[in-house]
Amino acid sequence: MGRGGRVREQKDFSMISIEERRCNQCGLCERVCVRRILELTEEGVRILDPSLCIFCGHCKAVCPTDALVFSNLNEKEFEDAPKIGELPEPSAFLQFLRRRRSLRIYKNKPVEIEKLKMILEAGRFAPTGGNRQALEYVVLRGRKILDRVCTLTIKSITEEGRRIKEALDRHRRLQEPLPETYITRQVYLPVWDRMARKWEEGEDQLFYHAPALVVIHVKNEATATPEVDSGMASMQMALMAEALGLGTCFIGFLVFSIENSGELKKALKIPMDHQAHVAFVVGYPDVKFLKLVARNLARVKWLGEKGGKKGRREKQTWKLAGEIF
């Protein structure tokens, strides 16, 4: 399947079809179709407008007789879904989510290609807005290429720091307003200075000497939700890395540096009409975390119905959990 929406422009409208001999006319496919292009009639299920299909696969996934056919999708990937009883217990799953840490201490050990492929698969199956599947990936493996990218990134953030310092000086002297991005990024000035200094000394405080790096980028205007899509995919990838015994750390400084530096974008082989949205390093942990960590209580406003028969007691329980009514 193509990326960046190109499939939508070139697709053959016969890609979705129904094997009438298999269809039992249960109507489940009609109910789950997000584009409402399936209609149950007395003769069977009719495809109203194939051009509106987004190939999400819901209809095939819910069909008890496997009557739906997508000629452009891999039939083998329509595997039997695991039963509820085969899924992790909620409390254990929450602990797994909490177990993931931003790792900044890595072993000097390469990540196997097969494990990196598994991480990419976790991203590939993440949901995307309108099933556009517009995400593309760059995977860097080995310190030679990572050192090159680190050098270019340090150069870019150093230049960004200089621009911010000059803008701050004009703001103090001339009351010139600060660009919005500079207002938030000015707090990083001492961090960037330290990173550049340590890099000169041979210490990597940007990628933390990790052996691999993943960048997610999207062609401009390929989808309306590039940030959300990239975020959901990257979190699934980070959790897959955790399940594989690996650690990850998201590198936001690299993301905006890519947009500031054509040289960096070229080194990463990201097309100029694409934008990077997420980057993270991955590798084997060289530190063991013994505890899960605390977080601030959730800030929530509940609207509508708030409790059941327990009434006041249930409301008090939610307050103890940090919710705001």
The predicted-structure confidence for 211-237, as pLDDT tens digits, reads as follows 999 999 999 999 999 999 999 999 999
Closest CA to 34 of 17, 20, 52: 52
CB 300 within 8 A of CB 323: yes
Report the number of secondary-structure helices (H) and strands (E) in the chain.
12, 8
In the chain, where does the domain assigned CATH 3.40.109.10 lie? Answer: 87-294
Cα–Cα distances (Å) from 45 to 22, 28, 54, 57, 261, in that order, read 11, 10, 18, 16, 53
* Tokens (6 digits) for 189: 């000035």
| Residue type, position 65, single letter | T
Per-position DSSP letters for 143-192, written without gaps between them: HHHHHHHHHHHHHHHHHHHHHHHHHHHHHHHH-PPPPHHHHHHGGGHHHH
pLDDT value at residue 201: 98
Length of the chain (residues): 325
Kindly report, residue by residue over 235-258, the tens digit of the pLDDT: 999 999 999 999 999 999 999 999
Residue pLDDT tens, the chain, 325 long? 333 333 344 444 458 999 999 999 999 999 999 999 999 999 999 999 999 999 999 999 999 999 999 999 999 999 999 999 999 999 999 999 999 999 999 999 999 999 999 999 999 999 999 999 999 999 999 999 999 999 999 999 999 999 999 999 999 999 999 999 999 999 999 999 999 999 999 999 999 999 999 999 999 999 999 999 999 999 999 999 999 999 999 999 999 999 999 999 999 999 999 999 999 999 999 999 999 999 999 999 999 986 665 555 445 445 555 554 4
Tracing tokens 């094997």 back to the chain, one arrives at 19
CB-CB contact of 253 with 206 (8 Å): yes
- CATH tag, 6-77: 3.30.70.20
What the block records as the tokens of 315 is 């409301």
Dihedral angle, C-alpha 227, 96, 249, 234, nearest 10 °: -30
Distance CA 325, CA 321 (A): 12
DSSP 8-state class, residue 214: E
Are the C-beta atoms of 192 and 157 separated by less than 8 Å?
yes
Instruction: Give the position of tokens 């997420």.
Output: 278
Residue 114 CA to residue 132 CA, distance in Å, equals 26
User: Amino acid identity, residue 66?
Assistant: D
What integer pLDDT is reported at residue 15 of this predicted model? 87
CATH of span 87-294: 3.40.109.10
pLDDT of residue 1: 35
- Of the candidates 73, 27, 61, the one whose C-alpha atom is nearest the C-alpha of residue 46 is 27
Q: CATH 3.30.70.20: which residues of the chain?
A: 6-77
The 10 Å Cβ neighbour count of residue 145 is 14
